[in-house]
Structure 1
Amino acid sequence: MKTGIAILVVSESSLQLSLTIAKHLPGSNLYSSFESIFTDTIPSIATFLKEHFNRFEAFVFVGSLGICVRSIAPFITDKHTDPAIVNIDSTGKYIVSVLSGHIGGANSLTKQIARITGGQAVITTQSDNTDLWALDTLGKTYQWKETVHNATMNKLIASFVNKNPVALLLEVRDQGTSYLERTKPDHVSIYYKYEEIPQQNFAILIAVTPHLYNPAIPTLHFHPQVFHVGIGCRKNCFPQGISQYIESVIIQQQLSPLSIRSISTIELKKDEPLLQELQAYFPDSEI
């Protein structure tokens, strides 16, 4: 599990700025290839990254952007797993979100550091610069489970930020859907019933719903966890197959198992093997 922020002090001239940043970033630690009582000494940045690239949530380089880019290049793999990378020039004037802006949190960290230094946050992600929703992090923000239909996430995001017509289906009411209503871009049309959407008029559909649909157009489903399942059973009942049966019944009702928030029973049954089986089968649900 990744934790903490590694602040890489490229040169001694960047040390004072790095100390200021670290003071305001909980969970951060300073590293440098030169010796200092204020940093942990490392053999080199390249060696440190080779050994620890997947250990930290984020790396903050204080120094040249070129050094940052060349240093991380051999270790970049995927935006879903790479840590956040932020680069700050030695004066603290420009704070650049380099890698994993949305999913990794580099954009948010960049803005946070800009507030610390009084510098300018440099973020090149199109959705941020056009005040559009960050589709790849919406689910995480509002604890929605996401699935993609008839497309890849990257294609859906590209279509959205290019402002192709979008249908937005809202079938629950929560903090996230209120945000979407309040910040709706002009190329998005809101619907509250699936059957009322003229799909031929839209490039993509974004659906915040516990239901299962099979749209004809590329769709991003967000499934809020709104279902509470009650379970009863005989003492020491044989649990095999029951989880799959529950899932199949939910799907038959055109509902998403991803929307299960909790699975409950009476106190007397809380230690039954069936409950342990259900917890393993529906790991995102509260038992």
Structure 2
Amino acid sequence: MTESPTPRLVLVAITKHGAAQVATLARALPQADICVSAKFADAMAGLPNTVAAYSGAFKDEIGGLFARHDQIIFFVSLGAVVRLIAPHLKSKDEDPGVVVVDDAGEFVIPVLSGHVGGANACAGQIAAILHATPVLTTASDVGKTIPVDILGRELGWQVEAPKINITRVSAHVVNGEPIAVVQEAGSPDWWTRPTPLPANIHRFDRFDDVDFARFKAVLWITRAEVDEARWQQLQERLVVYRPPVGQGA
């Protein structure tokens, strides 16, 4: 199985109370970097984490945080975070995952790049450590269905499709429309939620068994070549996943 590299994580605080919460979380995440106001850096004494203590304007730190990290956990108000990160946003394929923890440490909120950037998964991890509640708003997570853009990522699968296909197919999935999942390769253990596979998802072993008139979209897990005629046939209804060689069939 191909494993994703460990994400570069940073914990960020600008207040005394936030710094205390960062110090608590950092003890459980020794691999995480810390970015904190210099006047509260003493709260990090004795931690194994790498600490960057800033003394200028906090807004000047955001560009570097985006460049150096895959996931950023802010102990800063949600509104302030939105305003701070807005000038630095590019796309969901490039932006880091951004998570906000409220001042009381009760709620953990993925703000940016919930799927591709890993913010949703990160929020779940942080919430478990803090005994807090993760607040997920992405439709596939709320609806407990397939996340089209990252299906099989933990198994090393690579998604292959135009962006418009992923957008269109994701909408069909979360709207509960009939979806065919054809698996000809890779591990069968891709459905990891504790709930059953939604009733609108229908599994097949062979692509040729699918009656395309019955389904709004097809998710095809395969190592077979997908020629241009096939893409044209299904237009924006097809997303292909490529498992690593040696995994499954």
The two structures share one fold, judged by TM-score above 0.5: yes
Q: Is the 8 A contact 2:98 2:119 kept in 1?
A: yes
Letter in 2 for 1:97: P
**CA deviation vs aligned residue, 1:42-73 (integer Å, no higher than 9, x gap):** 12321111233211111111121111111111
Match of 1:59 in 2: 72
Match of 2:26 in 1: 22
> Unmatched 5+ residue regions in structure 1?
228-258, 260-287
With a CA cutoff of 8 Å and minimum separation of 6, indicate the structure with the bigger relative contact order. Answer: 2
Secondary structure of the residue that 1:169 maps to in structure 2?
strand
> Which residue of 131, 136, 142 corresponds with 1:123?
136
Q: Is the 8 A contact 2:149 2:159 kept in 1?
A: no
TM-score (norm 1): 0.72
> Unmatched 5+ residue regions in structure 2?
45-50
Count of equivalent residues = 227
Give the deviation of 1:192 after TM superposition: 1.6
Q: Percent identity?
A: 24
Q: Does 1:221 align with 2:234?
A: no
Match of 1:256 in 2: none
Q: How big is the alpha-carbon RMSD for the aligned residues of Structure 1 and Structure 2?
A: 2.5
Letter in 1 for 2:119: A
Q: Is the 8 A contact 1:151 1:219 kept in 2?
A: no
Letter in 2 for 1:95: V
Matches within 5 A, 1:1-287: 4-35=8-39, 36-37=41-42, 38=44, 40-42=52-54, 43-148=56-161, 151-172=164-185, 174-176=187-189, 183-213=196-226, 214=230, 216-217=233-234, 218-226=237-245
Q: Is the 8 A contact 2:151 2:190 kept in 1?
A: no
Higher-Rg structure is 1
TM-score (norm 2): 0.82
Letter in 1 for 2:21: L
> In the superposition, relative to structure 1, how do residues 50 and 136 fare at CA in structure 2: closer, same or farther (>3 Å)?
same
